Amino acid sequence: MQVKPSGTLDEYLAPVTIEEAARALADGRASVLAGGTDLMLQAANGRTPYRGRLVNIRRIAELRGAAITGGRVRIGALTTVTDILNHAELAKAVPVLRQTADKFASNQIRNMATIGGNICNASPAGDMIIPLLALEAEVELASWDGAKIRTREVALEKFFTGPGRTVMERGELLTAVSFAVPEAGHRVRFAKSGPRPALEISTVSAAFAATCKDGVTTNVRIVLGAVAPTPIRARSAEALMEGAECSGDLAARAAKAAAGEISPIDDVRASAWYRTHLTEVFVRRLIEDVCHG
Ligand SMILES: Cc1cc2nc3c(=O)[nH]c(=O)nc-3n(C[C@H](O)[C@H](O)[C@H](O)COP(=O)(O)OP(=O)(O)OC[C@H]3O[C@@H](n4cnc5c(N)ncnc54)[C@H](O)[C@@H]3O)c2cc1C
């Protein structure tokens, strides 16, 4: 069967620098192609029609790779899920990213799928987004203002406005995501569920981050995926735990509070009831793992 992409394509460009890409995107009449694992399917099924010009950013070497400098991690938008799995320094400093990458799709998809594509696709079920929110990451955006490159940073938490929607303006390119290296003793864990252990879009995903010292939890962040129009922070559950003594009872109460903050839907993957149940189970297990594991 031949699948015909929606939208028309009358031009294809493969820039090799960020400036070339920003210029190619400047009139807002272009679609960005990174790994293509979301875009090509969505163009084929009509959800994201091509905009006329396809700008393939995969040859822009400066967009790929991760580095840790001055206490900050910076991951280029074109860094693939496989790159993250293979990055020893990153795995040591922020193990949760490898843990998440290890639950992501298949080897073939991981080789193509980029972190920038996962963020820009803005799915409430985007796996890499969940630990990045727990790490309080921000994204870097670049665009061409007619004379030079204009850049801005946006907190990842403020980036998503709905399923598939972000604050990114037409013509903007996501160039990197960055966050502070977690302090010693601060632990972050991720969990996801789908009908299969990997190779599957999450039914529910969650991340928990905290420092548990002398039985007290601080710097608590609870992030939930696939249970609201965007990934969310469970703020009331976080407030319950912040500065509290970490006990089994607290974990159970925080998990219940987190489940009360979501607005899940019934769809082909799971019912809203099951998503609520899974959220509570995941949050409780993650808290127990971080605080008592
Ligand atoms: C079989 C299969 C399994 C999957 N499993 C998972 C999974 O387990 N977990 C998961 O989270 N996802 C999964 N996905 C979805 C997908 O692989 C990821 O979302 C992936 O990270 C998208 O990255 P990409 O580079 O392929 O993006 P693309 O498809 O190239 O782009 C996605 C969107 O982002 C835009 N975009 C990409 N990069 C930029 C940029 N730098 N600046 C501006 N806009 C940009 C594109 O224009 C497009 O709208 C799966 C997909 C398939 C087909």
Q: Tell whether ligand 1 has an atom less than 6 A from the beta carbon of residue 101.
A: no
In angstroms, rounded to a whole number, what is the distance separating the alpha carbons of residues 53 and 34? 14
Nearest ligand 1 atom to alpha carbon 40? 29
Q: Tell whether ligand 1 has an atom less than 6 A from the beta carbon of residue 60.
A: no
Over residues 44-64, the pLDDT tens digits come to 898 888 999 999 999 999 999
Q: Tell whether ligand 1 has an atom less than 6 A from the beta carbon of residue 37.
A: yes
What is residue 57's three-state secondary structure? Answer: coil
* pTM of this prediction exceeds 0.85: yes
Q: Tell whether ligand 1 has an atom less than 6 A from the beta carbon of residue 39.
A: yes
Tokens found for residue 58 = 């995969």
Write the CA distances from 202 to 47, 60, 197, 237, integer angstroms.
20, 30, 9, 22
Is 80 exceeded by the pLDDT of residue 78? yes
Pocket test for ligand 1, best of 17, 29, 37 (most atoms within 8 A of CB): 37
The packing angle between helices 272-292 and 248-259, to 10°, is 150
Tell me which residue has its CA closest to atom 48 in ligand 1.
39
Q: Most distant CA pair in the chain: distance in Å?
A: 63
Do 141 and 151 contact (CB within 8 A), yes or no? Answer: yes
Average pLDDT of every residue of the chain: 94
Report DSSP letters for 158-197, one per residue.
GTEEETTEESPPTT-EEEEEEEEPPPTTEEEEEEEE-SSS
Average pLDDT of span 274-278: 96
Over residues 143-178, the pLDDT tens digits come to 999 999 999 999 999 999 999 999 999 999 999 999
Q: What is the pLDDT of residue 200?
A: 67
Q: Tell whether ligand 1 has an atom less than 6 A from the beta carbon of residue 131.
A: no
In angstroms, rounded to a whole number, what is the distance separating the alpha carbons of residues 205 and 202? 6
Is 90 exceeded by the pLDDT of residue 8? no
Q: Tell whether ligand 1 has an atom less than 6 A from the beta carbon of residue 223.
A: no
DSSP bridge pairs for 193: 204
Q: Tell whether ligand 1 has an atom less than 6 A from the beta carbon of residue 282.
A: no
Q: Tell whether ligand 1 has an atom less than 6 A from the beta carbon of residue 173.
A: yes
Do 187 and 156 contact (CB within 8 A), yes or no? Answer: no
**Could you tell me the pLDDT band of residue 195, with boundaries at 50, 70 and 90?**
low
Nearest ligand 1 atom to alpha carbon 33? 30
Q: What is the pLDDT of residue 29?
A: 94
**Could you tell me the pLDDT band of residue 216, with boundaries at 50, 70 and 90?**
very high
Q: Tell me what percent of the chain is helix, strand and coil, each rounded to the nearest 5.
A: 35, 30, 35
Ligand 1 centre and the CA of 261: distance in Å? 27
Which residue reads 């601080």 in tokens?
218
Which residue reads 């409780």 in tokens?
284
Ligand 1 centre and the CA of 243: distance in Å? 37
Query: Which of 97, 78, 77 has its CA nearest to residue 88?
Result: 97
